């Protein structure tokens, strides 16, 4: 029977994070193949921004199309309903990825065996680590020469700050890659480079010293494997599901996504150990998925690809209860009841209207401008989900409206693009000038292009020397120290979209000096503190 409890227990919602090119798209596709959600390889389009895309706007538009299609990919496997949330790997879209990570219950980190831990992976894993999100690590491209397994695990521990334990172990690598020993199930899976497929069903080895191992992989490889397994037992902690769920231990798997090797082992472990939808904090209390009343939050907004239709798609993660079509829900920030006649769900690359949804699911809601990233929907309770902060942008520019007759379009366009989270807007306190802050330089061109094509507004940018946006927190707004801060720094103070006070510092040195001079004024690099 379908109950809230059984539906919650069926669901596993996760994201795959990696540096571009490590194999995220390939792995996603293989997972969908196993789930029977797609029939052939090549069906999942890569959402990579190709090099040189900065000047190629068709490319950006194409990417937007793909990113709607691949925002959520759902499939069934072994009685579980699995939702993969897409996370752009390109660093200019890192903010998008950070926000998507607020909607996942666990992640799989993909690492290229030859390249090891790369920059983008470091940043994303740091966010997951801080939030204690359970993580599995998949070391990919074992069919190629790469780094030694132990060196890689060291690198993962040191650069990513993780505490790892291998659950599978490669037998050789590149040309000599023979297969994988599954430490969890205690079996060997053989790889054949010739047909690039598994050549055997896994063969069990309760006793790794059995001479049958030699028959399968030869004397040399057997000896090496036994030595390495000994070492592993000595160095790494035993797998403990509870520690993994607490974010304190990260199991590592090896394989080759392209060759379909080691992927099923990863998936089988995933469905067994990955968490079901987790509770989430609000400004009032912790919300448990099993609560009868529906609640959820918007983590992504996607503008319509057709500029003639201004409606957008808001992606809502269901946190608790059952979401139903045509039922009235409270939009907490606006204090307004809304109902949705055509909520959609995503299944592989298809989108369809649904009647109901459960915790862990992502619902797409048509929106005519009511939603902002971070908005909460409930059955009436006034609460706001936490943990969807804005981070300080890295690039800043003044933005000017070039056509005074189109001021309205300009304002509306900027407003809506900011709601979508394309960039952040800061309005200077002393002269009301607008400054746009972005994570990557690419966004400025996206904004200019979209304002012109979707809102008929022309903009120009102007250089402004800002190093970081610091959100200001102060205990006593009437203190002399704070008044002095406001007076001295008035030319550097702005309001963000939520009217929070922000100090736009021109250098790291200024931030330090300001902290020293005004110890009671706290400066934060993120909007939630």
Distance of CA 420 to the CA centre of its chain: 16
**The two three-digit tokens of residue 291, written as one number:** 């609560």
Take residue 116 and report the two structure tokens written for it.
């090891």
- Write down the least CB distance from residue 47 to ligand G4P, Å: 8
Q: How far is the CB of 81 from ligand G4P (least distance, A)?
A: 23
Binding mask 83-102 for ligand G4P (x = CB under 6 A): ------x-------------
Site for ligand G4P contains 120 (CB under 6 A): no
Q: Which of residues 186-245 bind ligand G4P (CB under 6 A)?
A: none
3-state secondary structure of 407: helix
Compare residues 263 and 345 and give the one whose CB is closer to ligand G4P. 263
Q: Per CB under 6 A, does 26 bind ligand G4P? A: yes
| Rounded Cα–Cα distance for residues 363 and 338 (Å) | 15
| C-beta atoms surrounding 207 within 10 Å | 10
Ranges within 40-59 binding ligand G4P (CB under 6 A):
46, 48
Alpha helices in 39-198 (DSSP H): 57-69, 94-100, 119-130, 149-160
Using a 10 angstrom Cβ sphere, with 0-12 exposed, 13-18 middle and 19 or more buried, the burial of residue 504 is: buried
User: Binding of ligand G4P at residue 259 (CB under 6 A)?
Assistant: yes
Tokens representing residue 508 in the block: 């790291």
Give me the half-sphere count of Cα atoms (radius 13 Å) on the Cβ side of residue 525. Answer: 7
d(CA 110, CA 133): 15
Structural Rg of the chain based on CA atoms:
25
Measuring CA to CA, which residue among 156, 164, 99 is closest to residue 127?
99
CA-CA distance, 493 to 429, in Å (whole number)? 6
- Taken as a whole, the chain contains a residue count of 529
The CA distance from 439 to 437, in Å, is: 7
Residue number with CB closer to ligand G4P (251 or 262): 262
Among 72, 94, 135, 257, binds ligand G4P (CB under 6 A): 257
Q: Which stretch binds ligand G4P (CB under 6 A): 17-25, 368-376, 419-427, 483-491?
A: 17-25
- Confirm or reject binding of residue 256 to ligand G4P (CB under 6 A): yes
* Bridge partners of residue 409, in order along the sequence: none
Candidates 68-76, 192-200, 257-265, 490-498; binding stretch for ligand G4P (CB under 6 A):
257-265
**Binding of residue 18 to ligand G4P (CB under 6 A):** yes
22 binds ligand G4P (CB under 6 A): yes
For ligand G4P, the binding residues in 313-342 under the rule CB under 6 A are: none
Nearest-angstrom CA–CA distance, 359 and 105: 11
Among 9, 21, 157, 356, binds ligand G4P (CB under 6 A): 21
Closest distance to ligand G4P from the beta carbon of 195 (Å): 15
According to the binding rule CB under 6 A, does residue 262 interact with ligand G4P? no
Tell me which stretch binds ligand G4P (CB under 6 A): 79-87, 136-144, 451-459, 517-525: 136-144
Among 81, 141, 434, 468, binds ligand G4P (CB under 6 A): 141
Q: Is residue 63 involved in binding ligand G4P (CB under 6 A)?
A: no
Residues at the site binding ligand G4P, with contacts judged by CB under 6 A: 18, 20-26, 46, 48, 89, 140-141, 143-144, 256-259
């Amino acid at each position: 029977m379908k109950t809230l409890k059984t539906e919650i227990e069926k669901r596993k919602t996760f994201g795959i994070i990696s540096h571009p090119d490590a194999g995220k798209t390939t792995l996603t596709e293989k997972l969908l193949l196993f789930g029977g959600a797609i029939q052939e390889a090549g069906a999942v389009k890569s959402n990579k921004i190709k090099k040189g895309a900065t000047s190629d706007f068709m490319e950006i538009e194409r990417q937007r199309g793909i990113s709607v299609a691949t925002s959520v990919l759902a499939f069934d496997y072994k009685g579980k309903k699995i939702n993969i949330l897409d996370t752009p790997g390109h660093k200019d879209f890192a903010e998008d990825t950070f926000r998507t990570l607020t909607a996942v219950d666990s992640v799989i980190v993909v690492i290229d065996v030859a390249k090891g831990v790369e920059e983008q992976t470091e940043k994303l894993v740091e966010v997951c680590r801080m939030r204690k999100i359970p993580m599995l690590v998949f070391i990919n491209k074992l069919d190629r020469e790469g780094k030694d397994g132990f060196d890689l695990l060291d690198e993962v521990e040191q650069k990513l700050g993780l505490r790892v334990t291998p659950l599978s172990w490669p037998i050789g690598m590149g040309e000599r890659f023979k297969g994988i020993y599954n430490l969890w199930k205690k079996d060997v899976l053989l790889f054949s480079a010739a047909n690039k497929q598994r050549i055997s069903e896994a063969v069990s080895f309760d006793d790794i010293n059995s001479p049958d191992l030699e028959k399968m992989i030869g004397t040399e490889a057997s000896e090496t494997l036994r030595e390495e397994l000994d070492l592993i037992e000595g160095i790494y902690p035993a797998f403990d599901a509870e520690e993994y769920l607490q974010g304190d231990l990260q199991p590592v798997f090896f394989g080759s996504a392209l060759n379909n090797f080691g992927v099923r082992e990863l998936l089988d472990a995933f469905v067994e150990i990955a968490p079901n939808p987790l509770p989430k904090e609000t400004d009032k209390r912790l919300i448990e998925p099993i609560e009868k009343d529906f609640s959820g939050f918007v983590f992504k907004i996607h503008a319509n690809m057709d500029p003639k239709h201004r409606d957008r798609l808001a992606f809502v993660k269901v946190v608790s209860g059952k979401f139903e079509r045509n039922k009235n829900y409270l939009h907490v920030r606006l204090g307004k009841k809304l109902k949705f006649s055509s909520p959609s769900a995503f299944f592989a690359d298809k989108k369809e209207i649904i009647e109901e949804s459960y915790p862990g699911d992502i619902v797409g809601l048509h929106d005519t401008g009511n939603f902002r990233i971070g908005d909460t929907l409930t059955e009436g309770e006034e609460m706001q989900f936490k943990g969807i902060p804005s981070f300080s942008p890295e690039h800043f520019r003044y933005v000017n409206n070039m056509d005074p007759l189109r001021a309205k379009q300009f304002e509306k366009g900027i407003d809506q693009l900011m709601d979508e989270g394309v960039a952040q807007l800061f309005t200077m306190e002393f002269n009301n000038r607008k400054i746009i802050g972005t994570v990557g330089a690419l966004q400025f061109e996206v904004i200019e292009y979209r304002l012109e094509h979707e809102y008929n507004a022309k903009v120009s940018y102007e250089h402004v020397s800002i190093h970081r946006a610091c959100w200001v927190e102060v205990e006593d707004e009437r203190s002399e120290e704070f008044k002095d801060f406001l007076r001295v720094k008035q030319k550097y103070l702005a309001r963000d979209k939520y009217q929070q006070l922000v100090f736009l510092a021109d250098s790291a040195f200024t931030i330090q000096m300001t902290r020293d001079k005004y110890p009671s004024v706290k400066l934060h690099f993120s909007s939630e503190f």
